[in-house]
Amino acid sequence: MVAPANQPLLQVSNLRIEFPTRRGTLVAVDDISFHIDPGEVLGVVGESGAGKSLTGAAIIGLLEPPGRIAGGQILFDGQRIDNLPYESMRRIRGKQIGAVFQDPLTSLNPLYSIGRQLIETITTHLPLSDSEARKRAIDLLAEVGIPSAERRIDQYPHQFSGGMRQRVVIALALCANPRLIVADEPTTALDVSIQAQIIALLKKLCREHGTAVMLVTHDMGVIAETADRVAVMYAGRIAEIGPARQVIKHALHPYTEGLMGSIPTVGADAERLVQIEGAMPRLTEIPAGCAYNPRCPKVFDRCRIERPEPVAVGPTGVACWLYAKEGPRG
């Protein structure tokens, strides 16, 4: 495992997110643990419904009811934040932990100028006067690459394109110099040609500000380009977590291997991309043992009975019986 130099910025331990429903409780995120070091970019990948966005929402304290944290804890800078009252968590949100959402077209309030939204966020968290906040807002807009920020600050969201709006959203996330940004699929809703720009911008800004990022995405290409480490989620659990280079080049978990096989490579002469057979199970019908076992090409008896816990293989943690060193516990 990578030993953090000091204490990690974010430590998630045994997090469990449940949805009570009429038919019983659904476990959407099941006992996951990971950490993010200061200034580090952690990519979180997985299919839709794997629990990655919920994990992000839990960290910023905005899980939508009836979803709730049913177990585990989240430490931010050594302080427990998963059980804070709304008002204390509000002070952390935006100031310490910023967020970037998926759809820039709907993230901004259409009735207020972007300047007003920026200034309001700045003055909420920082002891600045309105004119100081306005100056800071203009600087931020320039920094996220909005040309003639001085003029455009008084314009309204509908006067910006999708890519430009996502830049504004990033400026809003950076308003109070947070130490962590939770970016939930920040490029999914954008044009392919814009995606790379936004990712490059996010990466550059966070390096300059020393901001750590939890980058939720289902795009392995984005991860390869941006992340220091990567966590692969499947059906509410972490299948594999480790340094991005390692996970991408030498995937251990059969699911990660499958994901990597589905990335198209330029120049490769393959006729068809490899695809993983079947679909991720619904939350109501997660199989016993390893949740991946019905789709796994390397499945064996033990996978159908016992659930694998993460084990360390070199710098990587992987939850797969292929890498179990000793026999089943208990």
Partner 1 sequence: MLAFIVRRLLQSIAVLLAVGFIAFSMFQFAGDPVNNMVGQDANAETRALLRERLGLDQPFPIQFVRFIGNMLQGEFGVSYRLGMKVEQILVQRVPATLELVLIAALLALSVGVPLGVYTGLHRHGALSRVMLTVSLIGISLPTFLIGILLILVFAVWLGWLPSFGRGKVVALGWWTTGLTSWDGFRALILPAVTLSLFQMTLILRLVRSEMLEVLRTDYIKFARARGLTSRSINFGHALKNTMVPVITITGLQIGALIAFAIITETVFQWPGMGLLFLQAIQFVDIPVMSTYLVLVSLMFVIINLTVDLLYYAVDPRLRIERSAVGAH
d(CA 93, CA 216) in angstroms, rounded, equals: 18
d(CA 169, CA 114) in angstroms, rounded, equals: 9
- Draw the binding track, 49-78, toward partner 1 (x: CB under 8 A; -: no contact): -----------x-x----------------
Q: Are 229 and 243 in contact (CB under 8 A)?
A: yes
Return the residue of 93, 134, 237, 295 that touches partner 1, per CB under 8 A: 93
Return the residue of 33, 124, 188, 246 that touches partner 1, per CB under 8 A: 124
- At closest approach, how far in Å is the CB of 190 from partner 1? 13
Map the footprint of partner 1 across residues 99-118, applying CB under 8 A: 99, 101, 103, 106-113
Residue 160 touches partner 1, criterion: CB under 8 A: yes
d(CA 55, CA 233) in angstroms, rounded, equals: 10
Indicate the residue among 114 and 233 with the shorter CB distance to partner 1. 114
- At closest approach, how far in Å is the CB of 80 from partner 1? 18
Residue 161 touches partner 1, criterion: CB under 8 A: yes
Residue 90 touches partner 1, criterion: CB under 8 A: yes
Q: Which stretch binds partner 1 (CB under 8 A): 70-78, 92-100, 226-234, 278-286?
A: 92-100
Residue 3 touches partner 1, criterion: CB under 8 A: no
Q: Which stretch binds partner 1 (CB under 8 A): 43-51, 129-137, 169-177, 248-256?
A: 169-177
Q: Which stretch binds partner 1 (CB under 8 A): 161-169, 228-236, 262-270, 280-288?
A: 161-169
- At closest approach, how far in Å is the CB of 92 from partner 1? 7
- At closest approach, how far in Å is the CB of 86 from partner 1? 8
Pairing of strands 10-21, 68-76: antiparallel
For 277, counting Cβ atoms within 10 Å of its Cβ (0-12 exposed, 13-18 middle, 19+ buried), the class is: exposed
Whose tokens are 């002070």? That residue is 91
Residue 79 touches partner 1, criterion: CB under 8 A: no
Q: Are 324 and 11 in contact (CB under 8 A)?
A: no
Residue 125 touches partner 1, criterion: CB under 8 A: yes
Indicate the residue among 144 and 252 with the shorter CB distance to partner 1. 144
Residue 156 touches partner 1, criterion: CB under 8 A: yes
Indicate the residue among 66 and 328 with the shorter CB distance to partner 1. 66
Tokens of 34: 């990971």
- 265 φ, ψ to 5°? -110, 135
Residue ranges that bind partner 1, judged by CB under 8 A: 60, 62, 86, 90-95, 98-99, 101, 103, 106-113, 120-121, 124-125, 147, 152, 155-156, 158-161, 163-164, 169, 172-173, 175-176
